[in-house]
Amino acid sequence: MSAAAFNPEAANGAHSRRYIVMMVFVLGALTATAPLATDLYLPAFPDMAEALGSTENHIQLTLTSMMVGLAAGQAVLGPLSDRFGRRVPLLAGMGVFTVTALLCAVATSAEQLIAIRFAQGLSGAAGMVIARAVIRDHFKGDDMTRFTAKMLFITMLAPMLGPLIGAQLIHIGPWPVIFVFMGVMAALATGLVWRFLPESLPADQRQEFNGREFVLTLGRLVRDPRFIAPTLVVIFNFSMLFTYVSTFSFVSQNEMGASPGVYSLLFAAGTVAILADNQTNMFMIKRVESTRRMLVGLTVSMSGVAWIAGVQLAGIDGLVTVPIGIAVMMFGCGIIFPNAGAAAMSSQRPQIAGTASAFMGCLQMAAGGAMPALATLGGVSLLSMTGGMVVYGLGTAIAVLATVRIYRAQPVAASA
């Protein structure tokens, strides 16, 4: 059955079990593409620095440039999906993403790789921003949180398996092999969209795309506390998490003496924590209101950050003690993310879901690219990683408390 012919039954909100399973799988694979492109090559950072005659900080900029590209791409592709529907911008973006992954494999300098990764981020933004818009086309409130949690289980396999696969690919061949593998995976995800994902935004509900309306919509989003408060939660929480993601490869291998294989196992263990909290979040949805779920996630994540800082102060930081704190921190982040994201998107009507998703994703990716870089301006170290996580964790706490106050005064419907 072709995607164009498949009826999502969005008109009356009745989704068949088959359709739900299909959409979870396709959107999960789609949103996993960018995390895979982020995490797959992390074990190769030291090898890439040596092969390209570059420094650790310079290689880290390949990650930063992709994050900036993801931010800029979402700002464009989200509104385009409100104007032209979800499928066309999505397929175009994923196609370009596949090509840029292959171009990364033939880069001969860190500067070339930084530029190509920026272009890869621009195109890869399609999978992230439009997937959120598709979900909002069908769900809101706790229904959206529940679906997002199911999808997150598939999505998080990418960051869990990415470093493990990357570490094995390094043994098979030089670092460009990783980007060839990345291109193949992106092509498969594009094929899934083409075959199985139907259009979810009817033509009569699409918005005219012009600069004035775009600016007015952004202005309304910024002034809407029910949108901007949980968006700030996502931004600071992601910055805290990504400070760890972008630095721990160097910290564990160069400062703590881990091999690429050991690093990938430690990284995977942290991702298992997110999968575990995903199931915890699913258990809490029917039993605990969303604001309380965010408070639970905040308490757990800040406990993990406090543990990491504490073992450093005590002089007992190592490849056992530090990953314990990281796993606890990631467990909490995995509870915060789906609840805060669903709260922000549920506060907006489906007709501007693409723009709202773009705005939130743009700020999230820009922060994910810039804030970890700011935290390591003096060099990549365990101390700079922890310092960044503490600062951004405090920002998360302030944003969560503000969101709880706002949503208790102005609740959003729990289901659609």
Average pLDDT of the chain is: 82
**Could you give the CA distance from residue 251 to residue 258 in angstroms, rounded to a whole number?**
9
Are residues 253 and 376 in contact, defined by beta-carbon separation less than 8 angstroms? Answer: no
Q: If pLDDT is split at 50, 70 and 90, which confidence band does 412 have?
A: low
The position carrying tokens 């060099």 is 379
Q: What is the pTM of this model?
A: 0.69
Cα distances (Å, whole numbers) of residue 369 to 11, 94, 366: 39, 21, 5
Rounded to an integer, the average pLDDT of 246-253 is 83
Nearest to 355 by CA among 223, 209, 230: 209
**In the prediction, which pLDDT does 153 show?**
66
Q: Is residue 12 included in any domain, yes or no?
A: no
Between helices 225-250 and 353-375, what is the axis angle to 10°? 40
* Residue 335, φ and ψ in degrees, nearest 5: -85, -40
Each residue's pLDDT tens digit, 258-276: 887 788 788 778 777 877 7
**In the prediction, which pLDDT does 1 show?**
37
Are residues 197 and 87 in contact, defined by beta-carbon separation less than 8 angstroms? Answer: yes
Query: Does the pLDDT of residue 140 top 50, yes or no?
Result: yes
The dihedral through the CA atoms of 144, 32, 359, 384 has a sign that is positive
Q: Is residue 367 included in any domain, yes or no?
A: yes
The position carrying tokens 């998107």 is 345
**Could you give the CA distance from residue 222 to residue 296 in angstroms, rounded to a whole number?**
26
How much of the chain exceeds pLDDT 70, in percent? 91
The position carrying tokens 């408390």 is 401
**Could you give the CA distance from residue 44 to residue 167 in angstroms, rounded to a whole number?**
7
Each residue's pLDDT tens digit, 277-299: 777 877 887 788 888 999 999 99
**Could you give the CA distance from residue 197 to residue 4 in angstroms, rounded to a whole number?**
8
Which residue range is the domain that position 103 belongs to? 17-409
Q: State how many domains the chain has.
A: 1
**Could you give the CA distance from residue 165 to residue 161 in angstroms, rounded to a whole number?**
6
Q: Is residue 281 included in any domain, yes or no?
A: yes
Structure tokens at 341: 């994201």
Cα distances (Å, whole numbers) of residue 133 to 31, 199, 380: 12, 11, 36
Q: Is residue 46 included in any domain, yes or no?
A: yes
Q: Is residue 395 included in any domain, yes or no?
A: yes
Query: Does the pLDDT of residue 160 top 70, yes or no?
Result: no
Rounded to an integer, the average pLDDT of 396-401 is 95
**Could you give the CA distance from residue 152 to residue 139 in angstroms, rounded to a whole number?**
15
Each residue's pLDDT tens digit, 45-66: 888 888 888 877 788 788 888 8
Are residues 398 and 295 in contact, defined by beta-carbon separation less than 8 angstroms? Answer: no
**Could you give the CA distance from residue 93 to residue 110 in angstroms, rounded to a whole number?**
24
Each residue's pLDDT tens digit, 175-232: 999 999 999 989 998 998 888 888 877 777 777 666 677 788 888 888 999 999 999 9
Q: Is residue 347 included in any domain, yes or no?
A: yes
Each residue's pLDDT tens digit, 30-43: 888 887 888 788 88
Q: Which CATH number do you get for residue 231?
A: 1.20.1250.20
Structure tokens at 89: 């911008």
Amino acid letter at 72?
A: A
Q: Is residue 149 included in any domain, yes or no?
A: yes
Each residue's pLDDT tens digit, 104-120: 999 989 899 999 999 99
**In the prediction, which pLDDT does 128 show?**
80
Three-class SS state of 388: helix
Q: If pLDDT is split at 50, 70 and 90, which confidence band does 145 have?
A: confident
**In the prediction, which pLDDT does 7 show?**
38
For 294-316, b/e burial (b = at least 16 CB within 10 A) is: bbbbbebbbebbebbbebbeeee
Residue with more model confidence, 80 or 151: 80
Residues ≥6 apart with Cβ < 8 Å to 111: none
Q: Is residue 142 included in any domain, yes or no?
A: yes
